[in-house]
């Protein structure tokens, strides 16, 4: 049986496709060192569009025994901190999490800069950057292109403020349209196994490829009559077209590969409050079945307080004006979001594959591109990190007044290296993030 399994894997690998079986406890003792599959690093990034109320999110201070170490570089490694009111639900996971304060991208713009959370670069500034405003998830996906059915899963609502979900951006600076809810995400992961569905997918790929062929031919004809400036603009456009071509080619390779069987009936989209736990569950399933190794989730302005029994609008409550009643309502909303994040971390910690716990093979970033929505600031961004193998139970506190304070993109370089990339720079970074090891 083991020899047959190895032969099947060899055939799939030769065809340019790699499919991982789920971990089977009954077969644990039959796997020799030579057949153990290498660990598959995964990455999940969760962004909140409106940030968190700083007075309840950040730790309330160190305990009296003073277990902290002041670095000459302007940061502290605090091990005996007390969580804030919003984050105290993370206490049972203390040994699996690191909180990081004092970091940001050095940007201004309020709501119009939050889309730079995972890139470090605003879209309007991207033309001066060599990689535009590509986000860390899309950058990492290029490294493992073709190894999973979905290079990434981008999830978030298109409703709410400021044109909906803007968490993920490609190398060419194009926004990645999100999967809007659990109904659509479930369908993407589990529906479409029958022959008719596969043939329909193939027809779509053929049609899209034909359209792109026509676009390329028309662009070549047009290019002959353009001045230099217009040629540059057309080249930017064609870069986006080439990105689409690559995604279509990768999708074609997976059409004939069966999807996993649905674990439950297809859900309906309800509202972001009720859907959030299910979205996290589906992301965990996507990681466990190796449908993808990279996912992003944005919690947007359509997160309705009324669905938690709280009156008012989320956007309005985030601009609380220091009114205690509004702050308490906002803390209720934000606590729920952190609770669902904690539930997700615990879930993937309990989930396993042939290499052990999923959490041990996953980097999870939770935070926001908004530091304080009430004052429209993008500084001191809220960041919580789960990272298999990292020493946790810490609050890395960087001094926001220090001239030596690193940019948040330094953390992204560290995350990319942990993912397996030989990267020493990402966007505005100056190196890896000190203090993590």
Residue 295 lies in a domain: yes
Residue 87 lies in a domain: yes
Q: What is the pLDDT of residue 218?
A: 74
- Where residue 271 falls among pLDDT bands split at 50, 70, 90? very high
pLDDT at 3 over 70: no
| Bridge partners, 175 (sequence order) | 169
Q: What is the pLDDT of residue 253?
A: 63
Q: What is the pLDDT of residue 193?
A: 64
Q: Provide the 3-class DSSP secondary structure of residue 92.
A: helix
Tell which wins on pLDDT, 33 or 210.
Answer: 210
Select, from the ranges 12-21, 224-233, 398-407, the one with the highest average predicted confidence (pLDDT): 398-407
Q: What is the pLDDT of residue 61?
A: 57
**Are residues 140 and 57 located together in one domain of the fold?**
yes
SS (H, E, C) 147-187: CCCCCCEEEECCCCCCCCCCCCECCCCCECCCECCHHHHHH
Q: What is the pLDDT of residue 174?
A: 84
Residue 315 lies in a domain: yes
pTM, to two decimals:
0.80
Residue 352 lies in a domain: yes
**Are residues 241 and 288 located together in one domain of the fold?**
no
Q: What is the pLDDT of residue 260?
A: 87
Q: Are 345 and 284 in contact (CB under 8 A)?
A: no
Question: Across all residues in the chain, what is the average pLDDT?
Answer: 82
Q: What is the pLDDT of residue 194?
A: 63
- Asked which of 258, 273, 292 is the last residue of a domain, the reply is 258
SS (H, E, C) 259-289: CCCCCCCCCCCCCHHHHHHHHHHHHHHHHHC
**Are residues 247 and 117 located together in one domain of the fold?**
no
Residue 65 lies in a domain: yes
Q: What is the average pLDDT across 51-57?
A: 96
**Are residues 292 and 385 located together in one domain of the fold?**
yes
**Are residues 336 and 289 located together in one domain of the fold?**
yes
Quote the percentage of the chain above a pLDDT of 90: 55
Return the structure tokens found at 100.
């990081």
- Lowest mean pLDDT across 123-132, 210-219, 262-271, 378-387: 210-219
Q: What is the average pLDDT across 312-328?
A: 93
- Where residue 302 falls among pLDDT bands split at 50, 70, 90? confident
**Are residues 61 and 170 located together in one domain of the fold?**
yes
- Lowest mean pLDDT across 136-140, 174-178, 238-242: 238-242
Q: What is the pLDDT of residue 158?
A: 82
Residue 144's nearest CA partner among 312, 334, 294 is 294
**Are residues 213 and 291 located together in one domain of the fold?**
no
- Where residue 173 falls among pLDDT bands split at 50, 70, 90? confident
Q: Are 21 and 341 in contact (CB under 8 A)?
A: no
Q: What is the average pLDDT across 347-356?
A: 91
- Where residue 75 falls among pLDDT bands split at 50, 70, 90? confident
**Are residues 130 and 65 located together in one domain of the fold?**
yes
**Are residues 175 and 215 located together in one domain of the fold?**
no
Q: What is the average pLDDT across 218-233?
A: 74
- CATH for 169: 3.40.720
**Are residues 253 and 209 located together in one domain of the fold?**
yes
**Are residues 140 and 219 located together in one domain of the fold?**
no
Residue 22 lies in a domain: no
Q: What is the pLDDT of residues 88-110, one digit of tens each?
A: 999 999 999 999 999 999 999 99
Q: What is the pLDDT of residue 202?
A: 63
- Where residue 147 falls among pLDDT bands split at 50, 70, 90? confident
- Where residue 197 falls among pLDDT bands split at 50, 70, 90? low
**Are residues 254 and 367 located together in one domain of the fold?**
no
pLDDT at 66 over 60: no
Residue 105 lies in a domain: yes
- Where residue 387 falls among pLDDT bands split at 50, 70, 90? very high
Domain count for the chain, please give it: 2
Residue 316's nearest CA partner among 160, 124, 131 is 160
Q: Which domain holds residue 237?
A: 192-258
- Where residue 143 falls among pLDDT bands split at 50, 70, 90? confident
- Lowest mean pLDDT across 77-91, 239-253, 409-423: 239-253
Q: What is the pLDDT of residue 8?
A: 35
Residue 283 lies in a domain: yes
| Bridge partners, 154 (sequence order) | 296
């Amino acid at each position: 049986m083991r020899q047959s399994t190895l032969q099947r894997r060899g055939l799939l690998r030769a065809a340019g496709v790699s499919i991982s079986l789920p971990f089977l406890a009954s077969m644990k003792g039959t796997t020799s060192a030579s057949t153990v599959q290498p660990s598959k690093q995964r990455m999940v990034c969760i962004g909140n569009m409106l940030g968190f109320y700083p007075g309840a999110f950040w730790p309330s201070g160190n305990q009296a025994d003073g277990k902290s170490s002041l670095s000459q570089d302007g940061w502290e490694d605090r091990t005996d901190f007390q969580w804030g009111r919003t984050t105290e639900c993370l206490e049972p996971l203390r040994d699996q999490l690191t909180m990081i304060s004092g970091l940001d991208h050095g940007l201004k713009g309020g709501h119009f800069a939050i889309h730079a959370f995972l890139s470090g670069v605003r879209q309007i500034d991207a033309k001066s950057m060599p990689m535009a405003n590509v986000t860390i998830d899309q950058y990492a996906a290029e490294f493992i292109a073709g190894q999973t059915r979905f290079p990434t899963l981008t999830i978030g609502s298109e409703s709410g403020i400021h044109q909906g979900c803007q968490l993920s951006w490609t190398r060419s600076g194009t926004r990645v349209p999100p999967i809007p809810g659990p109904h659509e995400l479930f369908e993407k992961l589990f529906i479409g196994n029958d022959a008719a569905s596969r043939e329909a997918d193939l027809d779509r790929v053929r049609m899209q490829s034909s359209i792109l062929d026509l676009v390329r031919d028309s662009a070549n004809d047009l290019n002959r009559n353009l001045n230099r400036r217009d040629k540059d603009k057309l080249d930017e456009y064609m870069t986006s077209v080439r990105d689409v071509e690559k995604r279509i080619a990768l999708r074609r390779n997976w059409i004939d590969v069966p999807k996993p069987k649905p674990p439950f009936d297809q859900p309906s989209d309800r509202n972001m409050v009720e859907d959030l736990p299910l979205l996290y569950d589906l992301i965990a399933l996507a990681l466990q079945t190796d449908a993808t190794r990279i996912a992003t989730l944005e919690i947007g302005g359509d997160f309705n307080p009324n669905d938690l029994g709280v009156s008012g609008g989320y956007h309005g409550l985030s601009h609380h004006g220091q009114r205690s009643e509004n702050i308490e309502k906002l803390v209720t909303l934000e606590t729920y979001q952190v609770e669902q994040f904690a539930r997700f971390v615990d879930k993937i910690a309990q989930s396993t594959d042939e290499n052990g716990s999923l959490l041990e093979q996953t980097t999870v970033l939770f935070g926001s591109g908004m530091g304080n929505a009430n004052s429209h600031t993008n500084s001191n961004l809220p960041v919580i990190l789960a990272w298999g193998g990292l020493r946790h139970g810490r609050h890395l506190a960087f001094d926001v007044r220090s001239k030596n304070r690193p940019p948040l993109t330094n953390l992204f370089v560290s995350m990319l290296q942990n993912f397996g990339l030989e990267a020493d720079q990402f966007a505005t970074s100056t190196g890896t993030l000190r203090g993590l090891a």
